[in-house]
Amino acid sequence: MFSPFLLRQTPLSRFALFSVSTAIAVALASGLCPMAFAQKKASPPTTGAESNLARGKYIVEGVAVCGQCHTPRDSNGNLDRTRWLQGSPVPYLPAKPDMDWPLNAPRIGGTPPASDADMIKLLTTGIWTNGNRLRLPMPQFRMERSDAEAVVSYLRSSGPKQ
Ligand code: HEC
């Protein structure tokens, strides 16, 4: 039969009660204190430039897939990462014969082929340095300015500088 009186009598159970209450106090302090929680979750700080580069990489590699046209392929048809964004024969043919179809998607990695302002204009409006649109299959991008800036920083960081 349970009796609080009896429990208090034996040194062993007194110790057990003490350790249980200490454990609860420690658990409450570490689990419920917002500061302790925040410290556990905190990730290493990143600079604005790093997150801009990461965003540019994500857009170029994962969304706009610039490399599908602007990176040459190896003999198995896989993109050649050693020549990433260094220009490539256009891998697509038009559905109807088109004398004006470009044969080449030029190099865009490393030093970009135009000033940052011109690159951003292309990516936000679709207009190139000659005042015209580029030919298909180059997509007509309408990016947000901040996305275009992130893409240009990433292009600058990828491939040899020229
Ligand atoms: C589906 C294929 C394709 C994709 C995807 C593509 N491009 Fe292009 N790009 C081309 C082709 C083809 C040209 C050449 C167009 C021409 O000569 O009129 C070109 C031209 C360009 C040029 C002009 C370069 C110069 O020196 O004249 C830039 C800059 C460019 N692309 C950037 C990009 C970027 C940045 C991306 C991704 C955000 C991208 N392209 C995605 C096919 C593509």
Residues 140 and 65 in one domain: yes
Residues 24 and 70 in one domain: no
Q: Pick the residue whose CA is nearest to atom 7 on ligand 1.
A: 138
**130 in a structural domain:** yes
Tokens of 152: 């240009």
Number of compact structural domains in the chain: 2
Q: Kindly give the number of the ligand 1 atom that is closest to the alpha carbon of 136.
A: 12
The length of the chain, given as a count of residues: 162
Tokens of 47: 């600079």
pLDDT digits (tens, 9 = 90+) for 58-75: 999 999 999 999 999 999
Residues 9 and 33 in one domain: yes
Residues 106 and 31 in one domain: no
For residue 142, the enclosing domain spans 48-157
Residues 115 and 98 in one domain: yes
Mean pLDDT of 43-59: 86
Ligand 1 proximal residues by C-beta, below 6 Å: 60, 64-66, 68-70, 90, 102, 105-106, 108, 113, 122, 134-135, 137-139, 141, 151
pLDDT confidence bin for 160, thresholds 50/70/90 = low
Interhelix angle 145-157/116-125, rounded to 10 degrees, is 130
pLDDT digits (tens, 9 = 90+) for 143-157: 999 999 999 999 999
**58 in a structural domain:** yes
Q: Is the dihedral of CA 75, 77, 89, 148 positive or negative?
A: negative
Residues 30 and 62 in one domain: no
**162 in a structural domain:** no
pLDDT digits (tens, 9 = 90+) for 63-111: 999 999 999 999 999 999 999 999 999 999 999 999 999 999 999 999 9
